[in-house]
Amino acid sequence: METKDIKSLTLTELKAQMEDMGEKPFRAVQLYEWMHRKLARGFDEMTNLPLAMREQCGESYTYTALRIVKVQESAVDGTKKYLFALHDGNVVESVWMRYQHGNSVCISSQVGCRMGCRFCASTLDGLVRNLTPAEMLDQIYAITLETGERVSNVVVMGSGEPLDNYENLLRFLMLLTDENGLHISQRNVTVSTCGLVPMMRKLAQEKLQITLALSLHAATDEKRRKLMPIANQYTLAELMEACIFYFEQTGRRITFEYSLVRDVNDMRQDAETLAALLRGQNCHVNLIPVNPVRERAYVQSDRRAVEGFAKILQERGINATVRRELGRDIDGACGQLRRRFLEDRQED
C-alpha cells in the first residue's frame, strides 16, 4: 500500500495524520465520511471542508477514483459488467448482480493473476500487480454511484487471488465493514481462494465473520493438479485440514466451488469421491458449469450432468446447489472482458 493513499487509511490513522497536519480530529471524521459514505470522487467535492485543507490534502495524498471504460448489461438478467481504468492505465473488471436478497458486487483483487488455473482467463498473462485497498473499495463505490442502488453483498471472486494480496485484502475488509463507511456486514462478504493453505490458516485466526469460498474443482489430488497448479503445492488433505480449522476458529461454514468441465470432473465417480471427501464437514457446495474461455479447450457440462452431479451429493447428505449462471451473454467469466479489451487495444 502507498502510505499517501488516503482512501486506504483507517479512521484512526487518518485522525493521527490530520493531527500532524494541525487539523482537528473532527476534520478526519468529515473527510472519512466524504470518502467512504458519500463516495466523493475527489477533494473538490468536499464542500464543508476549508479550501486550504482540501488543497493541502491534494498535495499530500493521492486520491484514487476509477474511470468507467465500459459497461455491459445483460439483456437476460440485468447483470452488469464493468471495465474500470486505474490511474496507471491498467484495467480491472467487476460485476454487479441483482438478487432477491439485495445487490451483490463481485470485485477483482489483482490486475491479472499468477495462480495459473487452466480454465481461467484472468491468469493467461500472469500477474501485473496487486490492487490497493482503495482500489478494491473503488470498484464498489463506482458501481454504487453508477447504479444509484445500495450494495449489500460483496464477493471477492473477480480476477486475482485475494490471499496472494493478503495485507491489502485485510485492510479492504476492515474499511468495507467499518461502521463509519458503507458498513457492509461481514456475513455478507465472501472471499474466494484457490487454496493457499498457510494464508487460509492465517485468515482463520483473524476470526472474521466473512465466508471463505474454496475453489476445489476436483476431488483427487491427481485431477486437481491437472486443473490447478496450486495443487502441486498443497494436497487435498492439507486443504481439508485448513478448512476444518477455519470452521473451528470462526464458526463459519466453508463454501466449496466446483466448476464442472465436461468429461474432466463431471462423472458419477467424481461426485462420489467429492461426497466422500466432504463427508462430515459443515459446508456448502456450489456447482458451476465451467464458462468456456476461448483460449482454453474446456467444454461446459450439460444440464443433465450438472443436475445428476448435484443429486449424488445431496443424496449423500452434502448441501449442494447449482449456481445460477448470470451474465453469460456479457463475458461473465473471470477476466474475459478485460482480455477482450486488451486484445482490441493491441489491434488498434
Provide the annotated active-site residues. 93, 334
Query: Which member of 215, 250, 265, 301 binds ligand SAH (CB under 6 A)?
Result: 215
Query: Which member of 66, 333, 337, 339 binds ligand SAH (CB under 6 A)?
Result: 333
CB of 194: closest distance to ligand SAH in angstroms?
A: 3
**Which stretch of DSSP H or E encloses residue 81?**
strand 80-85
Query: Which member of 293, 306, 310, 330 binds ligand SAH (CB under 6 A)?
Result: 293
Q: Helix, strand, or coil here: 87?
A: coil
Region for 329 from its dihedrals, namely left if φ exceeds 0, alpha if ψ lies in -120 to 50, beta otherwise: alpha
CB of 310: closest distance to ligand SAH in angstroms?
A: 16
Return the DSSP state at 75. Answer: T
Distance CA 284, CA 330 (A): 27
Question: Can you name the residues that pair with 127 across neighbouring β-strands?
Answer: 112
The count of chain residues that interact with ligand SAH, using the rule CB under 6 A, is 18
Stretch that binds ligand SAH, among 11-19, 78-86, 187-195, 303-311 (CB under 6 A): 187-195
Instruction: Report whether 158 contacts 107 (CB < 8 A).
Output: yes
Grid cell in block for residue 226: 491437472
Task: Output 131 or 194, the one with its CB closest to ligand SAH.
Answer: 194
The contact pattern for ligand SAH, residues 112-151, with x = CB under 6 A and - = no contact, is ---x-x-xx-------------------------------
Distance CA 74, CA 328 (A): 8
Stretch that binds ligand SAH, among 48-56, 189-197, 238-246, 338-346 (CB under 6 A): 189-197
CA–chain centroid gap for 114, Å, is 15
Task: Output 28 or 196, the one with its CB closest to ligand SAH.
Answer: 196
Among residues 63, 66, 147, the alpha carbon closest in space to that of 102 is found at 147
334 touches ligand SAH by CB under 6 A? yes
Name residues contacting ligand SAH, limited to 225-244 (CB under 6 A): none
Instruction: Report whether 92 contacts 111 (CB < 8 A).
Output: yes
Among residues 183, 70, 98, 101, the alpha carbon closest in space to that of 137 is found at 183
CB of 110: closest distance to ligand SAH in angstroms?
A: 9
Distance CA 313, CA 311 (A): 5
User: By the criterion CB under 6 A, which residues form the site for ligand SAH?
Assistant: 115, 117, 119-120, 157, 161, 192-194, 215, 257, 259, 288, 290-291, 293, 333-334
